[in-house]
Amino acid sequence: AMEEVCAKFVSQKISKTRWRPLPAAALHPPDVFATGSWDNEDNRISVWSVGDLGNAGINGEYQGEPQLLCDIRHNGDVMDMQFLDQERIVVASSTGTVTVFRHHQNNQTLSANHRWERAHYHVDQDTSCGGAACTGIICNNPEIVTVGEDGRINLFRADQKDAVRTIDNADSSTLHAVTFLRTTEILTVNSIGQLKIWDLRQQRNEPSQIFSLTGDRVPLHCVDRHPNQQHIVATGGQDGMLSIWDIRQGTIPVSLLNAHEAEMWEVHFHPSNPDHLFTCSEDGSLWHWDTSTDVSEKPSFLHQGGRSTAYFSHNTINHSVVSAWLSNDPTKDRMEITNLIPNQTLSVNSLDILGSCLVYGTDAEAIYVNRQLFA
């Protein structure tokens, strides 16, 4: 079988990869993505075109590796990165600064459009060395929410100089990630295994709900909300476990699934096909979790190229369309899990999925594009 993954070696450890969102009416697959780097002398934000993967070479190998369109220097490690719209990318830095970069598509350049210096800081905003890493960003244009090592939550608006709202001591531990539940509500995860819901309409600086992992207070590193069922949330933690939560009921996860052997760095529901979920880890693996109905009748694309495909039973999973992620009917509990990277090496730090296209970045100084995920 023709290998559908295209690799590009870059001289940077890649911390974040994100597809540029497609315009509402677009019919073509995603064709541009951005990356951010970390732990390099000189960190960069780069914008790439996927290259022309239509031209197969003589032996069936693709000609088109990703092409660099433009890049720009970034001060500090890139901790998180989100597209605000087609042209603007919001970037979180280990220095505590949050920057909006603009991608000028007419002449393929990047420029810093706006910067919130020291959005996150340890002691006070004025000391020279007090910056605290901004660890997570989520955008709902024009709103941008950031969280950080300082336990602070900021709400910015793309066109405004000052924060619209800051919750100073939102958390006494590090906040690692944030997502929108709905336009006025956000959910954060922290380093002691807690999820907290914050209602941005409330003036008080307290969460409206707190959920937590039982037992060991394992740090949670990533979170994603189911695109159609806003009460279903997935998180990943220090121990590599995948947790599925139903925020309508109880304060503990509805299921804990054994996953990676080291930290899970990102979890993403497929935005338009949320029976599919993707996770990546420090252990060098990237897993595709598939709860869609007839596992047995899947085309064999999952079995090629030395991939390990396992059938896992979990009494919390079934295949009702309503929510494959929540049911506890143990008679219908098959889920297919595939490691998309058979030869694991260094950490897979980030992934993004749009349509049938997957992009991921690693500490092995490489970015990978798979444009035929559901071929």
pLDDT at 141: 95
How many Cα neighbours within 13 Å face the side chain of 178?
33
Per-residue confidence in pLDDT tens, the chain, 375 aa: 345 789 999 999 999 999 999 988 888 899 999 999 999 999 999 999 997 655 555 544 445 789 999 999 999 999 999 999 999 999 999 999 999 999 999 999 999 999 999 999 987 656 556 789 999 999 999 999 999 999 999 999 998 999 999 999 999 999 999 999 999 999 999 999 999 999 999 988 999 999 999 878 899 999 999 999 999 999 999 999 999 999 998 899 998 888 999 999 999 999 999 999 999 999 999 999 998 865 454 443 333 333 333 333 333 333 333 467 776 543 345 688 899 997 777 999 999 999 999 999 999 999 999 988 886
How much is the pLDDT for 325? 79
Q: Does domain 9-294+320-370 have CATH number 2.130.10.10?
A: yes
Radius of gyration of the chain (CA): 20
Query: With left for phi above 0 and alpha for psi between -120 and 50, is residue 108 left, alpha or beta?
Result: left
Q: What are phi and psi of 267, to 5 degrees?
A: -135, 135
Q: What is the DSSP letter of 121?
A: B
Give the global pTM: 0.88
DSSP 8-class letter at 234:
E
For the CA atoms of 259, 263, 265, 267, the dihedral, rounded to the nearest 10 degrees, stands at 20
43-49 and 32-38 as β-strands: parallel, antiparallel, unpaired?
antiparallel
Where are the chain's structural domains?
Answer: 9-294+320-370
Q: Say which amino acid occupies 190.
A: N
| CA separation for the pair 33, 21 (Å, rounded) | 9
Q: Using CA atoms, how far apart are residues 270 and 351, in angstroms rounded to an integer?
A: 11
Q: Count CB neighbours of 344 within 10 A.
A: 15
